[in-house]
Structure 1
Amino acid sequence: MEAQTLLALPVVLALELVEGEVPPRLSLDRDEAAELVELIAADLHGLVPQVNQARLALAGALFDQVELLRPGFPVWATLDELARRVPRGHLENVVAFGSHGGHMPALPLEPSPQFSGGPMRLLPLSLLAPEALAGDLSEQLEVQLVGRGEAGALTADWLMRTLGIRLEHVRYLSRNDLLALTCVQYEHVNLAALWSLLEAALLTPYRDESAVTARGLALHYANGKVFAQSPTQWLAGQPHESRDDHAPRRHALAGILFELRQYAALLDAHQLPLRLQPGTDRGGEAGAGYLLETLATIESGYDESDYGSPTLFAHEAPGLGVVAITVAQRGAGGSARALAHGYPLQSQALGPLLALLADRYGIAAEPQALGRIVLDEHGALGAPATALH
């Protein structure tokens, strides 16, 4: 048990790699981590001497920023928990956690190879400071790391020799610095709405937040999840200038679905679940890499001559492949009646989505390829009536 309350001040050591460089491994072993934390302690003491009154903890693992910026900050939370277990004064009040037998001491401290290709790798640090010191130390870190946060030459050289990579820059950042950097990066690529939702999930998870993407899709954060406006609802709100030329609407819908895929990939990386915004006229559900909205039930007596069996249709867009799956049935007068639309947001999700729909509607998991996005006479996502039977 701690004799006094220790508050955690999160920091990272950011490694900016020379273009084309890839670390051959994502973790340091125990001995390497112990060597590195001593170098880091010397660097930080030179910037803010008060750090010698705090406990410095290092996770000897190389993370991408999406792995660190997740609700609850699980990497730092785990590092803090492990560091608090070490008796005060042990190892001169610095402690490092490295890999043993190829594994870090806790699962949240294991970086994923999925995110190993980025240009920057981050080593998480935490300073556990007495409550009376924490406020002033935090302020000093914010000021000094912004202006003088470059790592010492010994630290940078050690990292390059040990990891066998070339580095452009090695510098210390507070977690607030990392948040600000991520904000700028997302805004630079027209993903400001994503940052608004992520910031809420990270810093004020108890508050709702709404945002609109660059292309106009409404998003809402609540209760740990992000809810997206249905692409078909978005399409219904767009001007329908010509009933004869649907090309502009098809192009606009393809753009929305491309943007939705971008958001889905990044939200998944930050471990924020994505769902469809619930509506009174449709049901929404989500699976691994896809979203699905149900619009109507199968018409009773569909197996009689007036109705056909439900059929799967694959909408396609140039450069994107299959962007939507429509389940349709012949309706009154032979027109197509959409029962559901599914949106594969990852390439590997198409198969499971088709299998789910085939099982649900009792049909083969073999969609008819449309070669384009097909809209009905009202400009809504639909299916060709002539293909129904």
Structure 2
Amino acid sequence: MTADPDISRHDAAPQVLGVLALELSDDSVPARDALGQQAAGALATLLGRDLGALVPGARDLDLVFAAAHFDPAELLRPGWPVHRRLAELRARAPRAGQGPRIIAFGADDKGETPLPFRADPQLSGGRLRVLPYLFVGEPAATEAVSAHMESMLLDLGMAQADTALQAQEAFGARIEHARYLTLHDLLAMTALQYRNQGLEPLWDLLETALLAPASEVWLDAPPEPLLRHVGGEVRMALLSPDDWRRRCAAGEQDQDRLAHGLAMHEARQRQFAAVLQAHGVPVEFGHVAPGQDPRTALA
């Protein structure tokens, strides 16, 4: 990874950002996108029990949970918008007494999922669905819980059997595994998944967009597409066929191989754009004038 800032400090007050990750059976499709308020509260209570047993200090913090499932890319976006929304809703929630709270959000009385927790239907269908949670409280205690979870949750964070069963019955889906992850853990798992899918060349740029969105970084590694991340967006160079040939296939004379190579390059551009956009990173396509230096065109 190119950068490793403390995700828990995306706001002024430290927070513990994590997910309940549900690995579905191959042919399983959840019957519900979000749970009703009563079921959401019941699942949140089990989550608090499980994580409190793993990291006792978590019991002294507020737990905020959304009983709605997302594709991992929807939570791994610049600024962590879903978790940020959880923090905002916690700040507005009424307080009864002085102790730590469990605050759960789910579908409304009509069964509709509130907009902040409405998953993108274009990103449905994956086997891994994730439900966001955060812990927050006194800063020193929160930092201690964050450090503890980062050190052990990936290895030891399996949900208890009754928690997994509760999630399975509540969402109407067959669940193979249910486990707790920090957002850092989810980021690392996504990096490995993308590497296995041949997307490793894109990862440094995507990671910068997520963890250091104010930074500039290039992907300049022919025959990969030329990309520049700057100002919170990615600019992608669209080359003429002759310029693509000079950059990516110099010396190739066979016209069939050239045509196939150009088609593969354009497919790679679409693939990169789709991944970036799934992670909430805007993509701007820059047409490069014939003969122009493509880096200059993206500057």
Confirm or deny a common fold (TM above 0.5): yes
Matched position secondary structure for 2:159: coil
Partner of 1:347: none
Which of 17, 21, 34 is 2:41 aligned to?
Answer: 34
Equivalent residues in 2 for 1:160-171, closer than 5 Å: 160-171=168-179
Partner of 1:226: 234
Matched, 1:191 2:199: yes
Change in 2 beyond 3 A, CA 1:268/1:38: same
- Matched to 1:35, the amino acid is A
Moved more, 75-84 or 125-134: 125-134
Matched, 1:52 2:62: no
Work out the CA distance in 2 between the residues paired with 1:213 and 1:16. Answer: 35
**8 A Cα contact 2:25 2:175, kept in partner:** yes
Which of 126, 147, 152 is 1:144 aligned to?
Answer: 152
Matched position secondary structure for 1:99: coil
Partner of 2:4: none
Query: What CA deviation, in whole Å up to 9, does each residue of 1:101-151 have, x standing for no partner?
Result: 23334x221112222200011010011131122221111011231221000
Query: What CA deviation, in whole Å up to 9, does each residue of 1:284-305 have, x standing for no partner?
Result: xxxxxxxxx9xxxxxxxxxxxx
Matched position secondary structure for 1:165: coil
**8 A Cα contact 2:32 2:172, kept in partner:** no
- Matched to 1:51, the amino acid is A
Change in 2 beyond 3 A, CA 1:241/1:202: closer
Segments of structure 1 that go 5 or more residues without pairing to the other structure are: 284-292, 294-389
Equivalent residues in 2 for 1:328-347, closer than 5 Å: none
Work out the CA distance in 1 between the residues paired with 2:255 and 2:124. Answer: 42
Matched, 1:69 2:76: yes
- Matched to 2:250, the amino acid is P
Q: How many residues align?
A: 277
Equivalent residues in 2 for 1:37-116, closer than 5 Å: 37-88=44-95, 93-100=101-108, 101-105=110-114, 107-116=115-124
- Matched to 1:163, the amino acid is F
- Matched to 2:219, the amino acid is A
Work out the CA distance in 2 between the residues paired with 1:131 and 1:19. Answer: 41
Matched position secondary structure for 1:111: coil
**8 A Cα contact 2:16 2:146, kept in partner:** yes
Work out the CA distance in 1 between the residues paired with 2:205 and 2:49. Answer: 37
Work out the CA distance in 2 between the residues paired with 1:154 and 1:102. Answer: 24
Work out the CA distance in 2 between the residues paired with 1:170 and 1:266. Answer: 25
**8 A Cα contact 1:219 1:229, kept in partner:** yes
**8 A Cα contact 1:225 1:275, kept in partner:** yes
Q: What TM-score do you get using the length of structure 1 for normalisation?
A: 0.67
Work out the CA distance in 2 between the residues paired with 1:43 and 1:133. Answer: 18
**8 A Cα contact 2:71 2:129, kept in partner:** yes
Identity of aligned residues (%): 37
**8 A Cα contact 1:97 1:104, kept in partner:** no
1:247 Cα deviation after fit: 1.6
Matched, 1:135 2:143: yes
Matched, 1:217 2:225: yes
Work out the CA distance in 1 between the residues paired with 2:222 and 2:102. Answer: 46
Matched, 1:272 2:264: no
Segments of structure 2 that go 5 or more residues without pairing to the other structure are: 1-11
Query: What CA deviation, in whole Å up to 9, does each residue of 1:63-113 have, x standing for no partner?
Result: 0011111111111111111012224456951100111023334x2211122
Q: Which has the higher strand share?
A: 1
1:282 Cα deviation after fit: 8.9
Tell me which of the two structures has the higher relative contact order, counting C-alpha pairs closer than 8 angstroms and 6 or more residues apart: 2
Work out the CA distance in 2 between the residues paired with 1:236 and 1:51. Answer: 58
Partner of 1:250: 259
Partner of 2:246: 236
Matched, 1:174 2:174: no
Q: Which has the higher helix share?
A: 2
**8 A Cα contact 1:48 1:144, kept in partner:** no
**8 A Cα contact 1:218 1:229, kept in partner:** yes
- Matched to 1:239, the amino acid is A
**8 A Cα contact 2:60 2:137, kept in partner:** yes
Matched position secondary structure for 2:132: strand
Partner of 2:216: 208
**8 A Cα contact 2:33 2:113, kept in partner:** no
Work out the CA distance in 2 between the residues paired with 1:47 and 1:89. Answer: 26
Change in 2 beyond 3 A, CA 1:116/1:276: closer
- Matched to 1:132, the amino acid is A
**8 A Cα contact 1:217 1:234, kept in partner:** no
Work out the CA distance in 2 between the residues paired with 1:80 and 1:151. Answer: 23
Matched position secondary structure for 2:14: strand
